[in-house]
């Protein structure tokens, strides 16, 4: 099996130091990549706020190339969604990889043997299962916000998508040492930030058409196109899942709990509004309409938080 791995990252004044520090680990990862015969692509988006730092960016790119990675086209002014679509769904005649993978630079290490074994095993599972989409479940207890309740709000939001795609598709046994978040352990994780696509999968062509038809969704900031892809693959029983090694999300700001809550609820509302413009709309509505979804979420999260998040999502869908 041949993998084409893309490492996606955003480079802004807050993240640039961390990206610079990641180059030695990228060089170590490239050594393993050569052993596995994998293609490696570094997929940056450079923030406009770094204007005037061109020399520093050039040094990063030069270091990444020397480390053994290609640099993706258009490193400026593209959204995370556009990078997702370009790497996983663009037609590339010179790409002979069996599996195309995309992962976040700062969450999924690849500089140890066990890291590569877990990723390679997930790719093999995707091929063996004859599925189209795979998600790498994180082996650590994920936090999606600085403050606990706000992190839970985001996780509840993403768990609704997992229910929309079918928890049986995303739930997977813990095959490596770790302690994932109880919600992901119980119900599965659908959009971790590590994705694989089998372009010979049964629904790849349809998934590609649905993704490409959603330019108004992936051309704006956010992750709605990732949520849509996972939900649609899940609804068609075209998902493989498995655990991979991860680190907890880094946070570069220290907002107050109330300020973070306000921005978190806006993010949830905006992403739900975007999803409502895609073929994933009805599966999300269905998941929100089933009492069992809420009951299962109540078993892990505070009831008031579940009701708040699902209420925001229903309101966003109802106003379209």
If we measure between CA atoms, which residue out of 207, 236, 29 comes closest to residue 112? 29
pTM, rounded to two decimals: 0.96
- The answer as to whether 80 is a domain residue is yes
Q: Domain containing 121 — which CATH number?
A: 3.90.550
Angle, helix 113-129 to helix 23-36, in steps of 10 degrees: 50
Query: Does residue 77 have a pLDDT over 80?
Result: no
- The answer as to whether 304 is a domain residue is no
CA 300, distance to chain mean position in Å, is 22
- The answer as to whether 306 is a domain residue is no
Q: How many residues does the chain have?
A: 320
- The answer as to whether 121 is a domain residue is yes
Half-sphere exposure of 199 (CA within 13 A, CB side): 18
Burial of 101 (0-12, 13-18, 19+ CB in 10 A): buried
Number of compact structural domains in the chain: 1
- The answer as to whether 276 is a domain residue is no
Q: Which DSSP category does 134 fall into?
A: E
Distance CA 231, CA 254 (A): 32
Q: Determine contact, residues 244/173, Cβ cutoff 8 Å.
A: no
Give tens-digit pLDDT for 248-261. 988 888 999 999 99
**Dihedral sign (CA 268, 186, 6, 235):** negative
- The answer as to whether 292 is a domain residue is no
Q: Determine contact, residues 47/10, Cβ cutoff 8 Å.
A: yes
Domain hosting 206: range is 3-144+173-253
Give tens-digit pLDDT for 269-302. 999 999 999 999 999 999 999 999 999 999 999 9
From residue 37, give the alpha-carbon distance in Å to each of 30, 60, 97, 153, 197: 10, 24, 10, 40, 18
- The answer as to whether 275 is a domain residue is no
- The answer as to whether 298 is a domain residue is no
Phi–psi pair at 40, nearest 5 degrees: -130, 130
Burial 79-95 (b: 16+ CB within 10 A, else e): bbbbbbbbbbbeeeeee
Span of 49-53, 133-137, 226-230 with lowest mean pLDDT:
49-53
Angle, helix 257-275 to helix 281-289, in steps of 10 degrees: 120
Burial 275-306 (b: 16+ CB within 10 A, else e): bbebebbebbbebbeeeebbebbeebbeeebb
Give tens-digit pLDDT for 142-195. 999 999 999 999 999 999 999 999 989 999 999 999 999 999 999 999 999 999
């Amino acid at each position: 099996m041949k993998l084409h791995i893309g490492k996606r990252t955003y480079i802004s004044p807050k993240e640039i130091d961390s990206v610079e520090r990641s180059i030695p680990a990228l060089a170590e990862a490239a050594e393993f990549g050569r052993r596995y015969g994998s293609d490696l692509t570094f997929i940056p988006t450079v923030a406009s706020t770094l204007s005037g730092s061109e020399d520093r960016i050039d040094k990063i790119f030069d270091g990444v190339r020397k480390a053994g990675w290609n640099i993706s086209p258009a490193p400026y002014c593209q959204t995370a969604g556009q990078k997702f679509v370009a790497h996983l769904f663009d037609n590339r005649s010179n790409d002979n990889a069996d599996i195309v993978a995309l992962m976040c630079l700062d969450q999924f290490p690849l500089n140890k043997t066990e890291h590569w074994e877990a990723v390679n095993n997930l790719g093999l599972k995707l091929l063996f299962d004859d599925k189209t989409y795979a998600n790498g479940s994180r082996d650590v207890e994920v936090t999606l916000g600085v403050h606990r309740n706000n992190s839970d709000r985001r996780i509840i939001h993403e768990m609704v998508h997992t229910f929309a795609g079918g928890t049986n598709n995303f739930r997977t046994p813990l095959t490596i040492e770790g302690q994932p978040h109880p919600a992901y352990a119980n119900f599965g994780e659908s959009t971790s930030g590590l994705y694989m696509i089998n372009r010979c999968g049964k629904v790849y062509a349809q998934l590609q058409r649905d993704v490409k038809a959603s330019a108004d969704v992936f051309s704006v900031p956010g992750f709605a196109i990732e949520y849509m892809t996972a939900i649609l693959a899940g609804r068609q029983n075209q998902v493989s899942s498995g655990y991979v090694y991860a680190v907890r999300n880094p946070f570069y700001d220290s907002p107050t709990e109330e300020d973070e809550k306000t921005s978190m609820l806006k993010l949830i509302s905006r992403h739900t509004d975007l999803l409502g413009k895609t073929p994933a709309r009805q599966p999300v509505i269905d998941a929100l309409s089933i009492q069992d979804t809420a009951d299962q979420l109540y078993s892990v999260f505070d009831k008031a938080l579940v009701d708040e998040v699902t209420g925001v999502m229903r309101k966003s869908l109802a106003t379209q």
